[in-house]
A and B are shown apart, each in its own frame.
Chain A
């Protein structure tokens, strides 16, 4: 239809090109007359074959891609953690530094026996979690290598504020050997390194059920934890009620300890958070003031242009 109407249009428009139009018309009419000359049987066979090919290809495609291919079971995916209303994640909030202090205590008394925190130096703890004297005393509890002395021997010296928190194992191989082949990850950036962040770690620490659900397969040396992808985690439940005695008298329930240590780990991964939020607020305040100022200046400068009136006063006594 479209082709035909186009032809008609061109014919109507361009009388000069009549010859070309005539040729195309003749060609079209001759092909259509040729198809009618085919026997109806062959046409039917062709139609049936093409239909069969179309239907077959659809069926084959559905066979390939149609059914739901569950590459991962929910158990392999792991239970997605619930979102908890963390106070320190709000826009106008800082870390609760008492919680950080409690969390550091939990890390030191519980987690540090297997997990390193190798990117955090003692000096980072000063003023945020510990006082200078406490941090120094803590650093001096550990020994670190000195520079080689005159004989080239490397001796040990007590730690300084500039030293980093010591790792519980010498290297990854030693850690694996001590933990049945499982490597306890370094916790410095763990909040940033796991999907779900704080929620995931809190859920993981507190989510160990008393016993795995019926029929669940738990591998040898593994523990059931719904939040861990694959549900089999080498780390056993470590936080129990009253495990730690807080110096500020907070009841050390499992969830309280988990919450504190997660906030501490978030601090370890993101110690700049407080400053970052402060700087963000400054930027927002200053840029909004400057923007408002620039809008005012623009309006001020353009006021006479916008408010001027151009009047065309035609000459009245003009005779043609």
Chain B
């Protein structure tokens, strides 16, 4: 984030052993590897005996990664909403939240009594949202990638 990172980035970029590819780095996909191994299987039995051992290992790793991702998915909670909820209930936003709650109570009770509400709580909502986002912004950016 800071100035030092900039310098390290520059040094990294300038070093002769660093690479920057516009194209994807030439990496053989696992499918090709498996295809080759099957060919080897057909050609010689000894190599075939070794190759399948490697194959399941690679597959297992992939499966593990997938499982991890699947495990993460249901747990995804939007950090923004979480942080803003905390901020809304914090001491910093207590006055605006008080105003908003009061307004909501006033309007809903008026609506419940069958009257047409003479006001809306948009302005109070704005003040509350402004306070909450302002408070959550730096924390949110420290979490997000």
Contact = CB atoms under 8 A, between A and B. Distances in A.
Contacts of B100: 213
Given A213-B120, A241-B76, A134 B24 contact: yes
15 contacts: A74-B122, A74-B123, A75-B122, A79-B130, A80-B130, A133-B24, A207-B129, A209-B129, A213-B122, A241-B77, A242-B73, A251-B76, A253-B77, A255-B80, A256-B145
B69 interface: yes
Nearest to A252: B76
Given A133-B23, A254-B78, 4 more contacts: A213-B121, A217-B120, A226-B126, A253-B80
Interface stretch (B35-43, B46-54, B132-140): B132-140
Interface in A197-250: 203, 206-207, 209, 213-217, 226, 231, 241-242, 245, 249-250
Nearest to A78: B126
Contact of B125 (A132, A206, A213, A249): A213
Contacts of A85: 137-138, 141
Interface residues on A, range: 35 or more
A24 interface: no
B130 A82 contact: yes
B103 interface: yes
Given A85-B141, A253-B77, A216 B123 contact: no
Interface string A81-117: 1111101000011000001000000000000000000
B121 A255 contact: no
A213 B124 contact: yes
Contacts of A138: none
A259 B144 contact: yes
Contact of B134 (A82, A126, A251, A255): A82
Q: Is the interface of B mostly helix, strand, loop or mixed?
A: helix
B116 to A, nearest CB: 10
B31 to A, nearest CB: 16
A131 interface: yes
A219 to B, nearest CB: 14
A99 B141 CA distance: 13
A80 B129 CA distance: 10
Given A83-B137, A84-B141, A92-B6, A131 B117 contact: no
B141 A241 contact: no
A127 interface: yes
B107, B129, B130, most chain A CB atoms within 10 A: B129
Interface string A4-33: 000000000000000000000000000000
Contacts of B129: 79, 207, 209, 226
A83, A93, A214, most chain B CB atoms within 10 A: A214
Contacts of A214: 103-104, 107-108, 111, 117, 120-121
